[in-house]
Homo-oligomer: A and B are copies of this chain.
Amino acid sequence: MPLPDFRESAGPLPCAGGKGNSIPEATVARLPIYHRVLTAMAEQGIITVSSEELATACGVTSAKLRKDLSYLGSYGTRGVGYEVEFLGYQIARELGLTSPWGVVVVGVGNLGRALVSYRGFASRGFRILGLFDSHPDVVGSTVAVVDRSFTVRPVEELAEVVADQGAHIGVITTPADAAQDIAERMVKAGLHSIVNFAPVVLNVPTDVEVRKVDLAVELQVLAFHEQRRKNPAGSVVTELDPQRSVSGDRKAMNA
């Protein structure tokens, strides 16, 4: 039974280098939210903010926020709060958003287009270096973004662009069945960081980090909660009816 040996590089690398300077992954995952909200506040002209206010705006508790920020350093002022712009900059620096990262996007369907036209990318230090697709209908067409426009190139040119322009991050927005091939091309081209939007688990070498985004997970988690809201007991038919046999369940399965 030759199972396809696909296996996602399990991931998150021991977050930082050494001892006490490592930032917990849970914190890293929240920093982008803080950063976005701080940016929005700065644009509104807000100068200072307390941990309580910022936490509320980010949908977390102030204790959690202060703990998170404490890993970055002491950027607040007791009795006063945080300077919005300054704190935003520190978070950006910590996340590595102050120097630009070259990004290549493979797969120019609706999702690829949605990503490319997302203003938040450019403003956060991500620079799209190329758009690729394997479908002849799409290759050669033009995708207009805010300030630029891209001509879609054939996937064959991926390695060339990565090498010549020094891309760092690959984004996969292809259908599921194309994703593994694209991942391999990205690895061969020398990329070590991949964001995978395709609904498959990718098999890559361990020195490559894949982050997976599943557009449907949250919907499914919500379905679970909706179901629990209606039937708080859970899947507990089993518990209430010990008579119900496994074979009974199999019938339901085929119904």
Contacts and interface: CB of A to CB of B under 8 A. Distances in A.
B59 A96 contact: no
Task: List the number of copies, as a whole number.
Answer: 2
Nearest to A250: B86
A235 interface: yes
Contact of A16 (B90, B120, B228): B228
Interface in A5-32: 5-13, 15-18, 21-23, 28-29, 31-32
A124 B200 CA distance: 15
A94 B235 contact: yes
Size class of the contact patch on chain A: 35 or more
A66 interface: no
Nearest to A53: B3
A21 B225 contact: no
Interface string A215-246: 11111111111111100111110110000000
Interface stretch (A105-113, A155-163, A180-188): A105-113
Given A10-B59, A21-B239, A53-B3, A32 B216 contact: yes
Contacts of A13: 225, 228-229
A26 to B, nearest CB: 11
Contacts of A113: 110
A10 B65 CA distance: 13
A47 to B, nearest CB: 8
5 nearest interchain CB pairs?
Answer: A8-B59, A96-B227, A17-B232, A110-B114, A211-B218
Given A9-B59, A18-B233, A110-B111, 10 more contacts: A3-B49, A3-B57, A6-B57, A7-B59, A95-B220, A96-B227, A110-B113, A115-B215, A126-B223, A169-B226
